[in-house]
Structure 1
Amino acid sequence: MFLKSLEMFGFKSFADRTKIDFATGITALLGPNGCGKSNVVDAVKWVLGEQAARSLRAEKMEDVIFNGTETRKALNFAEVALTLANDNGLLPLDTSEIQLKRRLYRSGESEYFINNTQVKLKDVRELFWDTGVGKTAYSVMEQGKIDQILSSKPEERRFLFEEAAGITRFKAKRAEAERKLERTEENMRQVDGILGEVKRSHDSLKIQSDKTHQYRALRESIFNFELDIQLLRLKGFINDKGRKEEDLKTASEKRDIARKEIDEINASVAEHMDAVNEMQTKLIAMNQEIFGLAAEQKGKQDQIKIVTEQHAEAKAKIAVLENRKKNLEEQIENLQEEIDEKEASLHQIHKRIDDIVNNILEFESNIKLASNQIYKNSDDVKKLEGDIDSLEKENRGFQTELEAITEDIVSELDQKLKDAGYSSKAHEEALEKFTALMANIKRLASSKKTISQDFSAIQEHTESDISQFSQMVVSSFSELEDSLKDLENAFDEYKKTSLHFIDDFLSPEGIITKKRRIDEKIKQTLQKMQEKKQEIVKLEEENKVLSQKINEYRETLEKLRINQAQMKSEVQASEDQIRIIRRELRNQENALSDLENEVFTEKKRSEEINEQIIELEGEIASIEHRGRTLTKELENLEYSISSKNKDVSGKQDAVQKKTQELGKYQAQLEKINLDIVTIDTEIRNLKDNFRESHSRDLLEFEEKMYTITEPIMSLRESLSKARQELKDIGSVNLMAPEEFLEVKERYDFLTKQIADLVKARDDLKRITEEIRAESTELFMATYNNIKKNFHNMFRRLFGGGKAELRLTDPQNVLESGVEIFAQPPGKKLENIALLSGGEKTMTAIGLLFATYMVRPSPFCLLDEIDAALDEQNVLRFVHTLREFANVSQYIVITHNKKTVTGAGTMLGVTMEESGVSKVITIRLENEGANSDSSIPYIEPFEEEDVPLEEDVYMPPHPPKRVRNEQR
């Protein structure tokens, strides 16, 4: 990734739209004081999210908008667009080029864009997390920031090491986890408060419920005692009634005898008496009927009037009742729809809860599987590293053997040449001998490169003329196949006088062949080592992906558990609402049923009234006809009665005497009947009183009446004792058991909810601690690397000396400050505050480059950080800058000519028009710039190891997956 271009419009002195295209390597930004060079740096800081106006050399943020000049009007907004190349995928966006844009209006409204998509400031900051780029990172180094690194408090220097360690995102995640932890604990406090109130109700209702159960048990005992007492009384009444009925039977028999005698006396006058009585009865009946018909006629007419009014009232009442019925039906329909809607919603919530539970189980399983795979991969890496150590040891053995064989080849070749009397004057003969050697190489054509290397080794150990011939042979190697036939003929002639020891060298058992075999073994060993290293990289990359998945799973798991608790609260609320609606629905349905019965009754009454009117009208007509008929019959009957009365009068005296005797028996019967009625009344009162007291029929327990053996007095004593115990209990809440069950259900739900919240809190604490442990290890690993690099870079820049970094609080790594100590050559080790200005700057530059060695920033803006350096230190700075230019892109604002000579591109900032900046680009010849002889070569110092920090808190479990992610 590198900075491709910067486009500004209305930002500070850049009133016109200005675009700067940057090249890789080093770019020098030049210009006189006050022309707007530092505004370019401010523009980069501003577009990266800088929020402090003073950091941009302004009083308030609106001051960065072009404020106009004598000839130009002020602009209403400022805009800066930064284009970055993302070919290496350092930024987490799937595109090779990323444009970051910020726009500010005078109203104070600010906008951010990534690839023309509006985003939040948070998105911009997260995009550059742990890349070394950002408003607080080390991608922009001004003289003020150099001073801040050197003179600020040790705690304020942490940003440099945190950005290099790549723990910025971990700090943000830890802060987010801590915020979630605070919210969870607040929820726990709220639920705990509710639980306390519910628990008080729960405990109180439990006591009341137990008291109510005791009350109900006593009431049941009292009922059984009263039942037994009443059944024994009923049994006594039934027995008394049986005896009275026997007496009644005897008296009835005596009365029947008296009546029989009277009947015999009256037998003689029966016919007369019957006729007279019949006629008198008929006469009376007819008179009464005539009188009654008149009264009945008037009554029927009045009744018709009343019934007609009732009929009208019934119709009106039916209309009112029908209207009320319609309203109730509508209310019931609305309530039923609301219940259906609530139940559907409740079903969906239950379904979502089930899905959440399944997801929780799935994510927990995935975390376990991923963790197991990470541990397995780590074990495999250790095993592969052990294999590599073994292969390296084996390779060192081969190298030792190869060196020994090479020395043998040289000494044996020298000895053979001397023994053969070989010298420089045998020019042609040596050529023929090497030609014969080339023929032998044909047999080894599959390994031409190895044979060439073997002959090169021979050249190094022969005389100069042999070396010349050897070079000729090697240079003409490609022509051997064309002249192979001629060479074979020459070899046949030379064979008799050739140096036979060369054939011995190249034979299967020769020393060169042995060397070739060892070369092949070394090659195979190196190939195996490379394969195992690639396998290690593959496993570490897999661990990195698995670690990221575990973090994502855990974050999702925490959200799912919070959602689960919220869903359960919603279920409880919905069920409460449904119960309330159902209770109201039952009330409305009962009211509707009562109303329908009332409507039915009124309609039936209306029909009956209508039929009654018709019937009354017919009866009136019949009454009038009957009246006329009876008047005529009455006259005839009065005459007949008068004649019969004379015959009956004589026989009535005899009947009177017997009737007195019958009256005596009848009085006895009436007394007995009265006693029976009294007993029946007692039995009825007993039943009614029992029904009123207990709402049950006493005869339901009739079978038990004949099984009671306990005396009634004992039962009454037990009843009195039970009533006293019931009185001692005092007032009782009869609904307490039912209310206790409802409160218990709520109490159990809240208890489970508080348990879920405790688990969520513990998970968040564990995540926070894991992030802290991972951040600690990353910080310490980076800190110790920077510490070593800083020491060696300091020695290089100063030509010796010593530099140290020290933690102010080693026991609290994530909050500890960093002290800087430096010892230039010839001085004592001391705090950097005691150094000169140039020494401070060089020390800060050394720390900056030491940081780049651990995590280089893709690009870096250096604003006049060489201002305090002398010429020699500037040359050292430029030389070091060139070395790092192969890794990072540097844009240097400077006035120093020596610094400019190290740049491949120059940007000039001018102010042709007062208050308005312009940019001019000049491309330099990179080769010439890089080979400037005025910049001396700095002899590198041998790197020295420095002691790591001791007594530093380290987490008990090393988070390897984070180190993989850092790489």
Structure 2
Amino acid sequence: MYLKSMELHGFKSFANKIVLDFHNGITGIVGPNGSGKSNVADAVRWVLGEQSARSLRGAAMTDVIFSGTENRKPLSYAYVSITLDNSDHVLPVEYNEVTIARRVYRSGESEYLMNGVQCRLKDVNELFYDTGIGKEGYSIIGQGQIERILSGKPEERRELFDEAVGIVKYKKRKAAAIKKLHEEEDDLERIRDILGELERQVGPLEKQAETAREFLKKRDALKRLDVNMYLLDMSRLEEENTENEKKYRIAKDQLTAVYAQNETIKKQFAALEEKIKQADGVIEQLRNEMSETDLKKEKLEGQIRLLEEQIRFADESEHSLAQRKQNLEDVKAEHEKQKLDYEKKKQEVEGQLRAIREQLVEAKKSYGQVEETIAGANATIEKDNRLLHQLLNEKADLKSGQQRNKTLREQTTIRRSQLTQRILSRKTREEELARTFETAHEQYLEITEKVKNLKASLEEMQQKDFEWRSKRQEAKDQLSGIREELTKKRARLDSLKNIAERYEGYGHAIRKVMEQKDEIHGIHGVVADLIHVEKRYEVAIETALGGNIQNIVTEDEACAKELIRFLKKGRHGRATFLPLTAVKKREEFPHPKALKEPGIIGLADELVSHDKIYDGILSSLLGRVIVADTIDHALALAKNYHYTLHIVTLEGEYLRPGGGLTGGSFKNNSNLLGRGRELDVLKEEIAQLEEQQEECKKRLDEVETARTLLAEDKKEVEHSLSEARLEENTAGLTLRRSKEQVEESKKAFGSLEEESHNIEAQLREIDEGEKKATEDLSQLDEKEKQLNQEIADNQRILAEISDVVNQNRENVSKIQVQEASIEASVKNVEENLERIVLEIAKDQENIASLDQENLDNQKGSDEKKAQIQEIKKTIEAAGKNHDELKTSYQKALEQKEEWNTSHKGFFDQKEKIAADITGLEKEIYRLESLREKNESSSTGLNSYMWEQYELTLHAAKELRDESLSDASALRKEIKELKNSIRMMGDVNVHAVEEYAEVSQRYTFLKTQHDDLMDTKEKLITVIEELDTGMREQFTAGFADIQREFDAVFKQLFGGGHGKLELMEGEDLLESGIRIIAQPPGKRLQNMMQLSGGEKSLTAIALLFAIQNLKPSPFCLLDEIEAALDDSNVDRFAGYLHKLTKNTQFIVITHRRGTMNSADRLYGITMQEKGISTLVSVNLIEDKLDA
């Protein structure tokens, strides 16, 4: 036998279907880490029945299904199959090929298949017993198994050796035999218990059967009498029902009419409430509109105040502009004065220049006459004079320039002083404006925050007002609902009180006796009134009491006798009395174990609350009645106690002694037990509703008060918000104006600074010109001195010519100097005059600008005054609108008050109709109670007939005996016969059948007991034989493995010793196995003391030894040589080849030595991320060669 092929689809990383074909020898499966090659080993282990998801490296078994990748969807199932060649029929099946398959779905469902036919895991396990193949065998060895051999406890290695020596199947058989033996012993124990119980039942049942026959005869006689009494009672009840039904229909018609009237009133009431609600809406709307009108007026008045403030500010600006204009006019006047002075000075200098020029003409004329005379003599002097004249002109020009510079410097200094004063003034003004702006900005932010807070407060108040309105409506609705519910509850309470006071639902005699309660001493009351029962037990207790619920408890027999005389005297009928002095407590319940049976709640008298003095009464009535939760538990208990118990269920089924069973549709119409409880509940509910009503009224008052206070606060906040918004507008305007002034001041300050810089530059230029003129004058003075010296020299030469010539020459020179000086003065005056004219023009331009600004302010003031008039008209119109709204508001209030008056009238009508409805409902309830009472009586009679005899009314009529028409005589006979039956006590009516059944069952179980004893003896023999065979087989097999292990160890290690030992003091078939190794050159030591490689090689030696002794058809090794070095890998591969004679090997590896020893290679790789694929052998070989 060998492994032919393997198919995987959807298992772990094998998303695509792949098939691996295997041959004899060694097949290697290689691939990089993470490629999925170890998933092949997991697949073989899984298909052979591995049940541990953790062993398969998962958390759940569905984890083996391909879970998808980024590009591939997950699959819905995983499938693996292996095909084995079984031509040598190693496997105990007739097929030459065996295919084992396993499939698991994402739902968790899985299946095993053998040659395509579904099978069990057990079938797969049994197929491979003692072949070495299987999840617990040694045909699949991975690193986990090696680790378990190396590190596991000696007991955990046992499974490997059991499989190797071939005793696994015997152990399984022994386990199955032991399990079967335990089951047989359990069955024997149960049968012995049952036989003992049956032996105790046979004797008493024989006696009970005789009593049962007599009882059945008397019961048949009682049936005949009961049926005829039943027919007489049903006839009487039918007559009473006919009369009551007529009265009921009349009351019902009257109630329908009153209901119709009530509906009409309700609709009118609802319509009126809708009108009131609409009126509230109109009033609220008018109030809001009035509030909006007031707010609008306040806003407009605020706008007026704002405009007036702006006009006042414009007036103040006009005054400031006038002051600035006056200052400019003063400056202009000063400039005009300077202009006049310069013009006057210009005329004077020009006159001097004309006079000097006339003198110069005369002097030149005289000098020319003399010059002509002495021309020749003065040729040399003339040259020097020309030079001197030129020098003097230059000097005059320089002096004239110095004078101009001096004048300009004085004027510029004056301008600088004025400009400095203006700069200081402007800087002070700018600081004041900055402080004003900062203050205005802070005020604006403060007011803005105030407006924001007021808005938030107003929105919060509006939200609160909405919430309060919702709460008010909610409280009104709740109050209306409470009042309606209270009316219903009170009506129901009154009705129940009347019913309780009149003892409706009780018999006529009972009512007559209870009417005498205050007259005759000693009446305690009816049983129903003296006990209290939880609601869930009411049906059961009322069923258990039956007619006894109307029994009357008295102080003693004397009181009971007096009441009986009263009933006889008035011919009021009959009643049952329970004197406290006569009725005694029953003996303890004789079957206490029955109370511990499943589903049994307890004895009925223990589930009832009552005064201690009534213990005897309740014990007598309920002390022997058991309460069960369901009919199934009741039937089981009754059967166990041979139908000798009284049992009731929570749903009202009644099981009587003898086997009678009452059940079906049970209607507890009289509800005598629940009546008192309902009264208490109603009183409590009414008290709660009244308390809720007061709380609701209080809450409504609180809501109204809160709304009033909120409205006042809201109005206050709205007024504050209006004022704050006005302040915000004013502050905003002030802030903007202040900002504009700061910007204008900064702009003017910049202009002043620029002008100051220009003046300083001009002064520096004047200083530099004056310095240069001084230097030039000094040079000219030096040249003049030289020329004068030359002229003096020449003049000494010409002194002899003529004093006149000298005089004329000096006079001309003097006049020329004066002319040059005067010309310079004229030029200086003209320049100053030109500058003053420019200053005057600039002053005029500034004055015109101020006039235009003043004109704009006046125009703006006029426009704002016009706006104020328009706003006042709007305020006047708003006032008129407010008056109209106020008038509409008063009318709406008056209309609402009128509707509220009508609303109160409706309440009176509703109360009267409610009283009529209550009266009629009480009458209808009384008639319904009578009908229900009769129906209850009829039902009780019908139930009695069915429970006792399984007869319907129609069937009972067929049994009528006309001779039995005297009801009184019938009752007497029935009573006597019942007493006779009662004297017989509890009778097991099924005793005859039970006796026969128990006898038959006893014989059958005795036979079974003997058969089980035989089977037990046989199983013990089988287990002993298996133990003997397994011990012998294990002893021989273990010795063989020891010898083979030592031999293989020496071959793999190249010497040394390997030894196996059984744990001492333990059972041979369960003892653990210790591995001891002695590698070459080392002492014999425990395996745990070896190195990692030595331990791995030791474990491999053990596995190879087992394979030598008992080869498995195929063996899959999953990287078990990973811890070995290269030399040991070569030894491992070489020995592996020796084993291929008897075993086929599939080796998953990444070691080159192992790969080289393989006869065939499969490569597993991930060409697509997350998906393992099979690649060609040549490709793998190419990779290995590389």
- Coarse TM-score class (shorter-chain normalised): 0.3 to 0.5
**Higher Cα radius of gyration:** 2
TM-score, with normalisation over the residues of structure 1? 0.40
